[in-house]
């Protein structure tokens, strides 16, 4: 059984790579997921996705603002059996203004809801940052779950700690799995792998990155940054290290832990983000430099033959915003096992679903400029 995958807000292809890598066999039947179509608004991101996920079918990736896109355009490409959408997290992330539904990006999840209503796939995967649970005092998360259930899905939200699933990075993300109610299939959260955590040293050095590997250009550091890094030990940042007065940061009361923070080589990396200015590039534990994009991609569990398109800055953002494909693979494999009837050891969700019985006077959102944009189709 093959499930055709459609993606909204597809990013560079972390979810897609995880999905298409997931394989399950039971009772002589094979269960897999294949790419059908994808859409994102960023040109470099779409170019990366085409290059790595569907090089033989580039027209299946539509580069467009989701507010201008008609689902009929996607349906003409292919119908789907599963939908994935890592809807933009900018307004829910702890790094930022945390505007929630009051921001530009917060309401965009509703396009995932409308896509579920339109396509009625057998199951879906939605992904977002852990801060989503706390946006608008938890009301945003309750509403999202309510809307997903309302269009006919049994949903299982869970906060995954990807370092427990083999990813060499402490990356914590909410993933919501929804299975269509009429299928009567229950999803169980997969248990973490039974092995030690993968350290960032192991990820970057074993095996060594080959000379000439794509996206492995060094980032230039100013003499002052190099001098500052010489005082920062592995695991320390610009505020926990003992620095001379001339190298201290004058940023008032702000003490963000990621600023000029060196990796601890004996632990998984801290969270890789899409930012890069102001000392947030992620810094090597020994060498006085920021990581290359290839090294960052390894910490996101992308293989070295996954080539990112665009400028160095664009690639850094793509890598930081992506879902680690290894983590995604573990979740998709669990879903396939559910459809295959394989009884595996699972966990209870660590997120309580408070949306049952929740009532909203108006469960549909009006999106910013939604009616001012010309639809594509």
Largest CA distance in the chain: 68
C-alpha atoms less than 13 angstroms from C-alpha of 21 in its C-beta half-sphere? 19
Long-range contact pairs involving 222-225 (C-beta distance under 8 Å, separation at least 24): 225/260, 225/279
Sign of CA dihedral 317, 310, 42, 166: negative
The total number of residues shown for the chain amounts to: 377
In angstroms, rounded to a whole number, what is the distance separating the alpha carbons of residues 49 and 63? 11
* DSSP structure string for 181-198: GGG-----EEPPPSSPPP
Dihedral pair phi/psi, residue 181, rounded to 5° = -55, -40
* DSSP structure string for 242-271: ---GGGS---TT---TTTTPBP-TTS-B--
Per the omega criterion (within 30 degrees of 0), is the bond before 207 cis? yes
Give the residue numbers annotated as catalytic, written as ranges: 89
Dihedral pair phi/psi, residue 307, rounded to 5° = -100, 125
Note the helical H segments in the chain. Answer: 14-21, 43-53, 71-77, 109-119, 139-150, 200-205, 223-229, 293-299, 312-321, 325-340
- Grouping H, G, I as helix, E, B as strand and the rest as coil, residue 34 is strand
Dihedral pair phi/psi, residue 36, rounded to 5° = -115, -55
In angstroms, rounded to a whole number, what is the distance separating the alpha carbons of residues 352 and 139? 13
Dihedral pair phi/psi, residue 34, rounded to 5° = -125, 155
Helix H or strand E segment including 61: strand 61-63
């Amino acid at each position: 059984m093959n499930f055709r995958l459609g993606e909204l807000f597809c990013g560079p292809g972390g979810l897609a790579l995880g999905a298409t890598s997931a394989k399950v066999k039971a009772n002589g039947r094979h269960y897999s997921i294949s790419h059908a179509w994808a859409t994102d608004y960023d040109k470099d991101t779409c170019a990366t996705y085409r290059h790595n996920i569907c090089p033989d079918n580039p027209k299946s990736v539509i580069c467009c603002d989701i507010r201008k896109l008609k689902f009929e355009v996607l349906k003409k490409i292919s119908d789907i059996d599963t939908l994935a959408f890592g809807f933009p997290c900018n307004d829910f992330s702890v790094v930022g203004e945390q505007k929630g539904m009051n921001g530009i990006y917060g309401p965009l999840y509703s396009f995932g809801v409308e896509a579920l209503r339109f396509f009625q796939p057998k199951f879906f995967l939605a992904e977002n940052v852990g801060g989503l649970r706390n946006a608008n005092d938890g009301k945003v998360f309750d509403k999202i779950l309510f809307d997903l259930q309302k269009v006919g899905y049994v949903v299982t939200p869970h906060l995954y700690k990807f370092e427990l699933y083999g990813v060499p990075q402490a990356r914590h993300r909410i993933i919501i799995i929804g299975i269509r109610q009429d299928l009567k299939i229950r999803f169980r959260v997969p248990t973490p792998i039974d092995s030690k955590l993968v350290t960032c040293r192991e990820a970057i050095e074993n095996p060594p990155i080959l000379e000439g590997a794509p996206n492995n250009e060094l980032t230039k550091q100013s003499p002052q940054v190099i001098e500052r890094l010489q005082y920062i030990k592995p695991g320390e940042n610009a505020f926990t290290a003992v620095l001379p007065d001339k190298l201290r940061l004058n940023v008032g009361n702000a003490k963000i832990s990621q600023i000029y923070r060196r990796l601890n080589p004996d632990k998984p990396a801290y969270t890789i983000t899409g930012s890069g200015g102001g000392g947030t590039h992620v810094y090597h534990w020994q060498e006085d430099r920021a990581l290359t994009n290839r090294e960052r991609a390894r910490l996101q569990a992308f293989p070295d033959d996954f080539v990112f398109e665009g400028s160095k800055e664009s690639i850094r953002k793509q890598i930081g915003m992506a879902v680690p494909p290894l983590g995604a693979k573990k979740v998709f494999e669990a879903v396939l096992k559910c459809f295959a009837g394989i009884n595996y050891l699972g966990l209870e969700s660590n997120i309580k679903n408070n949306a049952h019985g929740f009532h909203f006077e108006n469960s549909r959102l009006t999106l910013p400029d939604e009616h001012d944009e010309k639809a594509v189709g």
